[in-house]
Amino acid sequence: MNPLVAPSVLSCDFAYIARDMEMINRSAADLVHVDVMDGVYVPNISFGLPVVAAMKRHSTKPLDVHLMMVNPERYLQDFRDAGADSISVHIEACTHIHIAVQQIHKMGAKAGVAINPGTAVSALEDIIRDVEIICFMSVNPGWGGQSFIETSIEKIGRLKELILKTGSKALIEIDGGVKLDNAQRIFDAGADILVSGSGVFGQPDPVAAIASLKSLTRQ
Ligand code: DX5
Ligand code: ZN
């Protein structure tokens, strides 16, 4: 089997969003990873609803929206209306994660729960059967271009065990520091979806970088 590949448009050239979305359309990418940062939950501010809607207008692939914001519940419908096909909310940012997941499903989108490097996998135990995606942060959220946290490899193994133990159908999406030179190890550890921002847009040929990630294999 091959991984699903989700280029992160946080690393695209925002002056040429349409061009970069069309590059993704032409590529072997499965999803477009869209990082929304509010400057409160994380120090950085990325972009908001009108930009997500513009990305949607130029994309033929599903938009996988990762909300790094406080009170994400307030904006779920807005991001769905802007074109999100899946929405991940941070377990650390939601007072009522179960309600947030229910709301996302009611809107007809796939639901994801994102988890920070410092949060125990066990925090997912009672929600993991209810979601389609676990957005597993392998850097601290806030910026693209950070180095992969190596202890994530062992932690991915624990997440995989929890998925098997609970019978969850959730896909493991690894987000942060995924590059061509470490992607095979990350895939072997149990990743289903590889998010890559700087690892794709920082390459001279992003379409070829996406193809290389997509061509990884695992038994
Ligand atoms: C980090 C974001 C990531 C980021 C990944 O806060 O959630 O999706 O775009 O970027 P790279 O692949 O450059 O680490
Ligand atoms: Zn992300």
Ordered by where they begin, the domains of the chain are 4-214 (3.20.20.70)
Tens digits of per-residue pLDDT, 25-37? 999 999 999 999 9
Average pLDDT over residues 5-24: 98
Tens digits of per-residue pLDDT, 91-144? 999 999 999 999 999 999 999 999 999 999 999 999 999 999 999 999 999 999
The 3-state secondary structure of 91-159 reads CCCCCCHHHHHHHHHHCCCEEEEEECCCCCHHHHCCCHHHCCEEEEECCCCCCCCCCCCCCHHHHHHHH
Q: What is the mean pLDDT of the chain?
A: 98
Residues 23 and 41: their CA atoms lie apart, in Å, by 31
Known catalytic residue at 35 = yes
Q: pLDDT confidence of 214, banded at 50, 70, 90?
A: very high
Residue 127 Cα, ligand 2 centroid: separation in angstroms?
20
Match 């019978």 to its residue by tokens.
167
Q: Closest by alpha carbon to 121, among 87, 154, 86?
A: 154
Residue 210 Cα, ligand 1 centroid: separation in angstroms?
15
Residue 43 Cα, ligand 2 centroid: separation in angstroms?
14
Over 90: is that where the pLDDT of 41 sits? yes
Single-letter amino acid, residue 219: Q
Q: pLDDT confidence of 70, banded at 50, 70, 90?
A: very high
Ligand 1 and 145: CB distance under 6 A: yes
Over 90: is that where the pLDDT of 75 sits? yes
**What pLDDT does residue 48 have?**
98
Match 């001279």 to its residue by tokens.
204
Residue 69 Cα, ligand 2 centroid: separation in angstroms?
12
Residues 60 and 31: their CA atoms lie apart, in Å, by 9
- Helices 17-26/206-214 angle, 10° precision: 40
Tokens of 117: 């490097």
Tokens of 162: 């929890």
Q: Which of 30, 64, 85, 175 is catalytic?
A: 175
Residue 75 CB partners (closer than 8 Å, separation 6+): 49, 67, 69
The 3-state secondary structure of 180-214 reads CCCHHHHHHHCCCEEEECHHHHCCCCHHHHHHHHH
Whole-prediction pTM: 0.98
Q: pLDDT confidence of 219, banded at 50, 70, 90?
A: confident
Out of 66, 135, 143, mutate this one to test ligand 1's pocket (max ligand atoms within 8 Å of CB): namely 143
Q: Which atom of ligand 1 is nearest to the CA of 66?
A: 7
Q: Which of 30, 35, 64, 85 is catalytic?
A: 35
Tens digits of per-residue pLDDT, 147-191? 999 999 999 999 999 999 999 999 999 999 999 999 999 999 999
Known catalytic residue at 205 = no
Distances (CA, A) of 146 to 10, 19, 46, 137, 176: 12, 25, 16, 11, 7
**What pLDDT does residue 29 have?**
98
- Partnered with residue 4 across adjacent β-strands are 193
Kind and range of the H or E run holding 86 = strand 84-90
Q: Which atom of ligand 1 is nearest to the CA of 137?
A: 7
Match 């807005």 to its residue by tokens.
78
